[in-house]
Structure 1
Amino acid sequence: MDEPIDAKFDTRNDGDVRDPNAGVLKPRHAATLIVVRDDGDRPRLLMGRRNRGLAFMADKWVFPGGRVDRGDYAAPSASELSPDTAARLALEPRHPSPARLARALALAAVRETFEETGLLLAKAAPERPGAGAWRPFLAQGALPDLAPLAFVARAITPPYRTRRFDARFFMAPASALLSLERQPDCGELDEIGWFDFDQARALDLPNITRFVVHEAAQRLADPGRPAPFMRFLHGARQLSYL
């Protein structure tokens, strides 16, 4: 039986531990996308394996994602976040521009998925010029599609890590992808694949990814489930719901 999401949670076995005498880094905003296929006997998740030469979570299987780029705040899109997803994100602790940040997080999840897997959560559109991180995406003749995104979870990397992220996890159906075929010359992950939940749990996963795999299964059974928020305060793990 898989552990519940409020079971003991610790990421220290994922490597990259900070010197306890060093200052605590402020986490950077980041976003991750869980793409789910339902065209088989069981739901399957899109996951990729990180390069074994990386300093952070080397050789681990993860969902595609990464930190928010400044271009994510102004990138065009074919649709906006659904009212439900926007409302769930608005329940987070205050930010200077909650709606603007929520949109940037969603766009970051879509962009990073394209960069790491070559798959586009998008609508077909005329090719258009783009700048910075969005140039390759917009050159595909596509605009990001934000409407299918559901907000699944949030987690902040513990303060003892040398890389810290304030990550939001989104989920979307694979039917919203422009195609299941990867775009050529795209894909930063060493290997990608579609795995059912039992297969995913058997992979070499970071603990936070295992936590979110469990949450994704729960969310498919209960789409109205509150989103868990995992963070560390005063050295102790805290779990709340948004």
Structure 2
Amino acid sequence: MTPQPFDAAQDLADAPRIGGAQRPKDAATLILTRGSDQPEVLMGRRAPGHVFMASKWVFPGGRIDRSDFAAASIADLSADAARRLAAELPARRARALALTAVRETFEETGLILGRPAPSASVAGPWREYRQAGALPDLSVLSYVARAITPPGRTRRFDARFFMAPVEALRDPDRIEGSGELDEIAWLPLDEAQGLDLPAITRFVLGEVAERLRRPDRPLPFVRMVRGRHVVEHRD
């Protein structure tokens, strides 16, 4: 699958401008991959009632939570992921965003990215994950893309996209959606491109296909500068 240029016009149509000034909120997404000859990705369709990107197919993810800064893990980010993130934000926040991706994926799909650990009783959003007897393994995450929602939208996110192989999941066949995604499926990359996708998701799918062949590919950063979309690539 050949990577496509970022579709700026579609991005504006995905979330029309409504005016007003909002600072982007930090968020994280997890792209789970399966297979090598015909790679697949795990995607979900957002429920129709959502204010933002309703009925679109997306990767699991969401906003950072205060609890993500204090959540335990069994292994830290890899040197490469930590280096790439360190160019953008402090190490503590980078780690929290990686944990956000793990937590949100669990909340939306029931899938546990982590290793077995004694069950623990904690308060807040990590309660069910820890009760399941696991700790996140951040070392399996690759940092693959960053995108900031254009100004004036109903929601604005500074989203970091992480990627991990299916082998990092404790029980990859046990998908239990929370309802935020009304359908969840493993999809071949080419088939996924034919779905109703946000422009950024379509763009990142192409990046994923390339990164599976070339892990050291420069990281794309998509944002709007002076009213125009810009895509920078950073080593």
TM-score in terms of structure 1 length: 0.91
Q: Counterparts of 2:117 and 2:230 in 1: how far apart (Å)? A: 43
Matched, 1:51 2:47: yes
Query: Deviating runs (4+, > 6 A) in structure 1?
Result: none
Tell me what 1:33 maps to.
30
Give the alignment of 1:16-165 within 5 angstroms: 17-20=16-19, 22=20, 24-38=21-35, 41-92=37-88, 95=89, 98-165=90-157
| 1:5 shift after superposition | 3.7
CA RMSD, aligned part only? Answer: 1.7
TM-score in terms of structure 2 length: 0.94
Q: Counterparts of 2:179 and 2:61 in 1: how far apart (Å)? A: 12
Alignment gaps of 5+ in structure 2? none
Alignment gaps of 5+ in structure 1? none
2:67–2:124 contact (8 Å) kept in structure 1: yes
SS at match of 1:11: helix
1:157–1:164 contact (8 Å) kept in structure 2: yes
Tell me what 1:241 maps to.
233
| 1:18 shift after superposition | 3.6
Q: Counterparts of 2:96 and 2:44 in 1: how far apart (Å)? A: 23
Aligned residue identity for 2:34: R
Q: Counterparts of 1:71 and 1:189 in 2: how far apart (Å)? A: 23
| 1:199 shift after superposition | 0.7
Aligned residue identity for 2:11: T
Aligned residue identity for 1:90: A
Matched, 1:223 2:219: no
Aligned residue identity for 1:153: A
